Structure 1
Amino acid sequence: MNFTEKITDFSLSKYRSITLAMVVITIIVALLAALPSIFPDRFPYLNPLRVDTDPQNMLPADEPVRVLNESMKRDLQLYDMVVVGVVNEKHPDGVFNTETLKNIYELTRFAETLRWTEKGEERGVVEADIIAPSTVDNIEQGGLGVVKFEWLMPSPPETRDEAITIREKAQKIPFLNGTLVSENGKAIAIYLPLTHKELSYRVSSAIQKKVAEFKGDDEYHITGLPVAEDTFGVEMFVQMAVSAPAAMIVIFILMLIFFKKITLIISPMIVAVVSVILTMGALIISGFPIHIMSSMIPIFIMPISVLDCIHILSEFFERFQHTKSKRKTMIRVMQELFTPMLYTSLTSAAGFASLALTPIPPVQIFGIYVALGIMLAWILTIIFIPGYVMFLKPATLEKFGAVHSNNTEEASTLIGRFLFRVSRITYRRAKAIITLSLLLIIFSIYGISLININDNPVKWFKSSHPIWVADKVLNKHFGGTYMAYLALTAEDEKYDADKFLEGFKARASEKIKELESAEAATVFTQVVNRAGESAGDSDSPMMIYEKVAGFIDEKLNSAGDEEAYTWEDAALFIEEEKQRGEIFKDPDVLNYISGLQESLLTTNVVGKSNSLSDIVKTVHRELFEANEEYYRIPDSINAGV
């Protein structure tokens, strides 16, 4: 007795034990996967169900681009944003009417409360970094040489004039115009930074409930990259929950049409469901999160798992009327199909398992567990399906099976007749079929070269979806709804004490000439000497400056009136020296950034950019009585940078 015969005999003889074992194992796996999520406190040692819809996690944690992104977000305190757009195209003043601004003020205050404490960590909207009319500064002239900072909208306006004044102030600040308020005054955008991007769906849902309370002609649109990604993830899981059962229903109906025995075709359904439960259960128990990719595992396993079952049932259908014996028929069927089913299952599993070679963790998990599911389905098929047939009563199979006629040229079924005609065409038109196939391959290769990768998550939705609509409306009024950060860094020059002192002495000499006094020469000589003494045990210019500044403070405390003025000049000189290392206060660098911004706008990809240069130019303008001629980078650091 060979291996195939032993397996078949075992399946037919121990079918009750096999079925019981399958049910028990399935229940145990399902409980191990579900209980930690239902009762997390009682089963802390088991892995609960975790859902991960963040596309960033498609990359390994040590991927350089991901490490850099996390580093920049941490260093610069950047957060993923939910954008709430308020649009009013019916009111003559757009959104700058008292009722709309009152609602925006109330909505902002509500958004500040969207914080939750989970596992000892406060999560939600970062209140301090919200960008809204009531949370940003207005920059304006407060007198010659004075700049005043105050809230743009400390409270909702009571009159139309107050509302219009808010619009004028906001549009006067380039940083806000086109970002916070639209240039036509018809829209305002509120930017809500999140501590964790996976909270975006929760935050957007809360915002939607809040805006439903407002009355009037205002339109509220919620978008932003994390919202699009998280919403897609949530709706993807909902779709999978619908698609998987729908696929099973379609398969069930097709098998019912072919075999016309519900009791018989239930067995492939059982194999499919058990395969999915065991596979997904193993994934959860192993501690892997359910990613967008892994949510599709059931869709792949269900149709694949019934294939071998259908092969067995089809062959059983063809042979049963010859023997009228369940056991004999099943033994012959398994002898004929065991090896082909094994090879097809192995090749399918190998194909999916090869995804483990990709550098994308969720794809690796997807491939490995689909391969696992395929092999589980094969094992269940060869040991459960034969046993299931043994459960069926003889009366159930009395009229089951194909009755063949003596006509060998044409089959008795509709499918058989169709295949018979197709075989004739294939035989007679072999060259034409091969030629057509080659042409299709060439055409397909050309089509592959035209593939355009679009990673914009908004395009994952239908054009009627609220996120698509929000993106379209807000991009019409603003420079864009998705943030891209360009980080500029200065190279750290290697500290050279001799080179530093040489430059320091030269600049001190220039300062002495500028002050034109004997007292200055004496004081600055002491400063240079002190810098030289400090250079030996200092690791950077900043350490030298701090030591020299301390030395100057001591001298100031004991200096006379005339000498004190010179020591104050020395203190100011050291402050200027400190700023020499602050490269992003350098007018040349700020002008470079401004030029870079202008260049980005010519790409037709960037709709609006903001930088430190915009703020410096705005402050410089307000220092000169809001004269537009002074909206530029000052000529020196001391002139307003």
Structure 2
Amino acid sequence: MGMLIGTGHTLHIMSSMIPIFIMPIAVVDSVHILSEFFDAYQQRKNRKETLIYVMGDLFKPMFFTSLTSAAGFASLAFTPIPPVQAFGIFVALGILLAWFLTIIFIPAYIMMMKEESLENFGTDTADASHKNSFLNRHLRWIGKTSSGKPWLVIGVNIGIMIVGVVGIFMIKVNDNPVKWFKKSHEIRVADRVLNSHFGGTYEAYLILAGNVQEMTVAQAAEQLKEKLRFILQGSPAILSSAMEDVDQEIADSKSVQGLKDALAQLWNIELDNAPEDDDTVYDSWGKALDSLGGIGAQKEVFKRPDVLRYISDFQKHLAQKGDVGKSNTVADVVKKVHMELFEGDPQRFAIPDTVNAVAQTLISYQNSHKPDDLWHLVTPDYTKANLWLQLRSGDNLDMERVIEDVEQYFAANPPPVELSHDWAGLTYINVVWQEKMVTGMMESFLSSFAVVFLMMTFLFRSPTWGMLAMVPLTFTIGFIYGFIGLIGKDYDMPVAVLSSLALGLAVDFAIHFLQRTRMTMAKTGDWGEAIRDMFDDPARAILRNIIVIAIGFTPLLLAPLVPYQTVGVFLATIMLYSGMATLWILPALLTVMKDWVFKKELKAFAEKAEG
């Protein structure tokens, strides 16, 4: 932890769990040494001889278990999330440092103890009370059952694995930082109350951008003619005059703005010359002038009435879906100001029909508020708009559902102009983080699985033994994550990280068991005798590890944060199942495969017997 802070890393939810993950793996090696020393000391009555015997048996498996565990966590350095990268690297360094300190400190400490103080230390393996202890009786029963009924054991575990695979497909990937607190915590209580009474406390922002190209003079003129035909269809004489003016000014205008200015000048003259007693002429030329506003605001997408109505309809759609409690957009501002300009008439709570009227509402809003307030919802050039969404839940699943609703709506209801959209906001960032976490963890786990398999193959000098070493890990992962899916537990950050811990612990037990099995088989040459020996000291050391670490982490259940509680529960479960998978499945597989996998050991035993 000192190195973590010294290198400039900050303390956060991931880095705070580094000691929790280092401790079980660091304790594993210590328990193996002390357990073996405890069982062997009374036979030799000499510290040095006992330590040489213990370290001779355990050094190689402890070294490789530490390397494989470190490799599993170091693979997290390839995830795209910096806090997870730091977590993986420093846990890996901690594991290697713990291994070094264990093999140096524990033997040194034992040698510093007086011989007299160890007089009653350990157990006499020949003692009947020792052989008939509760622990040893059950270990012998496991050994007899797994080797005596191997196909039954294999079949049961395959059945459990199938159920686990079904559960894995039921896993829900979801996270919500607020749910890291207990339900009774004041933050959770406040969250429930606020979101039940208000629109929502979880914010996301949908950014819309208009992709309108600059219009040519000819295109602007054609668009204007279409508008004139529609709005002046009841005044054919004025329509004909206005069309002639447009055709005349096209040749003289070099820009859309120039065309607009020229036509505005002509039509203002017509408006001024309209007979006082003929309202129809006056209104018709007024409509013609209003139509020019649409041309001048062509690039100002979010002043267009049709675009604002589209946004308003989109807001209603989101509200009906239920995930979004409230939304705020520039369309809301326009509708509210428009209503207030007509003395609060509810019938006027709508988008005006012309660009000029929209512009007038926005000017009125800026005059009555801080002018810059409007730019929270739209950019000054009106080419981008911000839709401020408030969600009642911070679950990533809910945000993902909103994103899917938006995509489906845009696909089924094309906007009046081409619009691109993008997301922002903390609630959306959590979704991106989750996606990177899941894919990153999966990639790192698969890569570390492959690396550990290669290391096992190198250790045992055999791909077959390498595959056997991966069996408890595979069954542990299948059971743990299948159980998570079956009980409906969300696949969140702590659950994702636990896969690396499962890799380290499950392979640790498998290496110790397989390495000692090969040594015992080479020594005895008989599988029955090897099983009896294996379910004495080695199995007892594994079981002690399970008990010590599982019980040692139960205080995590009292932690104030749910991720720590989750780690505590699943640490104990991983320890239990990976240890039992080693003691049940591996002996059963070795019994079935003994004539194939022990050829080298049996050959060594035969040569030794002949010599």
TM-score w.r.t. the length of structure 1 is: 0.46
Structure number with the bigger relative contact order (C-alpha 8 A, sep ≥ 6) is 2
Calculate the TM-score normalised by the size of structure 2.
Answer: 0.48
